[in-house]
Chain A
């Protein structure tokens, strides 16, 4: 009988035997499969761009075809600020000086270092100054953090001014970019105000007197300042004029510190971000970067066209 033969061969019987048998079989099967799968995994490691993980993040094949190059710009949220292609001469440093991009990059650096500084800073009289000392002496890399934030702010102002100079010298404010120039002017004012409101925050002599000098001018605002032309006639006093509104008091004190803090850390960065969004959007919608465009001769000057402008603009640099 076969059963008896099995028994005779010393095979285990009963529940234990069945379990043992099944596990053994499974193990043998698994061994083959695992080795197989392991090899597959190793092979996939060599081509990470074929994995599901990679493809879920980057949706385009990575190869050297023009189509993929274009798509890798267009399908990435950070890159899609750019067009897929640009005027061949626009990458010359001598054209843009890279100053707009550097202003933006410095804005990002300032945002990051600024948020880190906020972890250590209380906008209250007495505590504020101590927090700066704490940053200098006890916080790991605290001094470096503060230095980067301050020098970055100075650099950004210089970058923005040079950006404006190059936009002017290339005539890039001309049709159709008039409005984006205005957005830029607002961005420059916001950049200066960001720096100025930050100057008070260490609550030291330097910031205190600079902001005192600065806001004293607000006293002299025509109509709205108590020392300005026609201010007194309109009922302005040191306790209800624009300077009072800016400082939250008649002197630079605790309220002024809090107001500077809120303008500096929340309000102006938010407003500036919105304007930067508009600025970049308009650079694209106005036909991309303005040049280097083919030169136009005096003899080719035409009468100014009246009426609406084309909504879709041809990229500049092509004729």
Chain B
């Protein structure tokens, strides 16, 4: 049933879902806020690039400054008072939230009564959503590990020295796009889907669609080799491995093209060591594998690409 606003309200008003409602506003707001600052700097950069004389004398920030002004401020009181104010506001916010909304408490734990849908805490819903597309060893173990490793690798594979300590978009297009696709599209959006869209049986329910506990999805997912009519297990395995390998090669090459698009990115590429290039490409390809598998599933109803006796991909 559609137009079930009561269902929507039931989901939105679950106390534990309030943070995601907050996230829905906070993340776009701060993204916009950061970009506003970035464009401010980009305009200044453009100005300084066309006017070398100005670049020599300018203080190089888009904020007011006159010669003779102090370049530094005393922490006491100029920073401390801000910190104090922030603490007060945060405390009031937390108090009001805690007075108006009670933390949830369900029935006592009962291993014999499964909750449907059974959801992980909201901050892990991105991983749970991945379970639709990948087996648990990938979604629950390999992907989180890769996210942590990938995040830690960022400072060591970003060879672009510009944009250190100020907001800019123009000087760091590639890294900003990569990070925002990862954080916004592959993490935050997945959390929102997991919270608001996924209902009983982890099935897809559009907002205002009633959660029907008796609904069954008759999706016929096939493995890739079945589509091609391959029956022998070992041939199928070789075929799947080839497809996975092809994915690595083709997307690796596409990434390479992407890194060579502009003159600037070619310059950065030039500065990178072989180890940096290999790491960057590996991580990008692995990141791309999530949307790739999602597309394979949603467009072609493909369950596994590679089937082996030990694991499936």
| Residues of chain A having any CB pair with chain B under 8 Å | 66, 69-70, 72-73, 79, 82-95, 97-98, 101-102, 105-106, 109, 129, 132-133, 136, 143-144, 146-152, 154-155, 157-158, 161-162, 165-166, 168-175, 177-178, 181-182, 185, 189, 192, 195-196, 199, 202-210, 212-214, 216-222, 225, 227-230, 233, 251-252, 290-299, 301-302, 304, 315-319
A to B contact number (C-beta, < 8 Å): 299
For the complex formed, measure the closest distance between the CB of B71 and the CB atoms of chain A, giving whole angstroms: 6
B108 touches A98 (CB 8 A): no
How long is the Cα–Cα vector from A201 to B123 in the complex, in angstroms? 17
Chain B interface, number of residues (Cβ within 8 angstroms): 103
How long is the Cα–Cα vector from A155 to B154 in the complex, in angstroms? 26
> Given A171-B172, A182-B155, is A294 in contact with B61 using a C-beta cutoff of 8 Å?
yes
Q: Does residue B70 face the partner (Cβ distance < 8 Å to A)?
A: yes
Q: Select B74's contact among A70, A206, A210, A290, beta carbons within 8 Å.
A: A70
Q: Select B109's contact among A207, A218, A315, beta carbons within 8 Å.
A: A207
Where chain A touches its partner, the secondary structure class is helix
CB contact list, B30-86 vs A, under 8 A: 30-31, 33-34, 36-38, 41, 44-45, 48-49, 55, 59-61, 63, 69-80, 82-83, 86
How long is the Cα–Cα vector from A148 to B231 in the complex, in angstroms? 59
A217 touches B140 (CB 8 A): yes
CB contact list, B133-154 vs A, under 8 A: 135-137, 139-142, 148, 151-152, 154
B73 touches A318 (CB 8 A): no
For the complex formed, measure the closest distance between the CB of A135 and the CB atoms of chain B, giving whole angstroms: 10
Q: Does residue B195 face the partner (Cβ distance < 8 Å to A)?
A: no
Please name all residues of chain B whose beta carbon is closer than 8 Å to the beta carbon of A144 when the two chains form the complex.
98-99
Q: Does residue B295 face the partner (Cβ distance < 8 Å to A)?
A: no
Selected interface stretch from B5-13, B20-28, B243-251 = B20-28
Please name all residues of chain B whose beta carbon is closer than 8 Å to the beta carbon of A109 when the two chains form the complex.
91, 94
> Given A172-B165, A295-B45, is A88 in contact with B27 using a C-beta cutoff of 8 Å?
no
B136 touches A205 (CB 8 A): no
A169 touches B38 (CB 8 A): yes
Please name all residues of chain B whose beta carbon is closer than 8 Å to the beta carbon of A299 when the two chains form the complex.
49
A222 touches B106 (CB 8 A): no
Please name all residues of chain B whose beta carbon is closer than 8 Å to the beta carbon of A195 when the two chains form the complex.
121, 123
B161 touches A174 (CB 8 A): yes
Q: Which A-chain residue is minimally distant from B81 (CB atoms)? A: A91
Mark contacts of B164-191 with chain A using CB atoms, 8 A cut-off: 1 yes-contact digit, 0 otherwise.
1111100110001001000100000000
Q: Select B86's contact among A102, A170, A207, beta carbons within 8 Å.
A: A102
Please name all residues of chain A whose beta carbon is closer than 8 Å to the beta carbon of B166 when the two chains form the complex.
170-171, 291-295
> Given A151-B98, A181-B154, A221-B137, is A209 in contact with B61 using a C-beta cutoff of 8 Å?
no
Q: Which A-chain residue is minimally distant from B264 (CB atoms)? A: A298
Please name all residues of chain B whose beta carbon is closer than 8 Å to the beta carbon of A90 when the two chains form the complex.
73, 79
Please name all residues of chain A whose beta carbon is closer than 8 Å to the beta carbon of B3 when the two chains form the complex.
none
A292 touches B165 (CB 8 A): yes
How long is the Cα–Cα vector from A125 to B38 in the complex, in angstroms? 53
How long is the Cα–Cα vector from A304 to B266 in the complex, in angstroms? 16
Please name all residues of chain B whose beta carbon is closer than 8 Å to the beta carbon of A292 when the two chains form the complex.
61, 63, 165-166
Q: Does residue B115 face the partner (Cβ distance < 8 Å to A)?
A: yes
B140 touches A210 (CB 8 A): no
Please name all residues of chain A whose beta carbon is closer than 8 Å to the beta carbon of B86 when the two chains form the complex.
98, 101-102, 105
Q: Select A178's contact among B31, B97, B156, beta carbons within 8 Å.
A: B156
B87 touches A208 (CB 8 A): no
Please name all residues of chain B whose beta carbon is closer than 8 Å to the beta carbon of A221 when the two chains form the complex.
137, 141
> Given A91-B78, A92-B63, A206-B106, is A293 in contact with B34 using a C-beta cutoff of 8 Å?
no
How long is the Cα–Cα vector from A298 to B271 in the complex, in angstroms? 14
B48 touches A295 (CB 8 A): yes
Q: Select B34's contact among A165, A172, A222, A290, beta carbons within 8 Å.
A: A165
Please name all residues of chain A whose beta carbon is closer than 8 Å to the beta carbon of B310 when the two chains form the complex.
229-230, 233
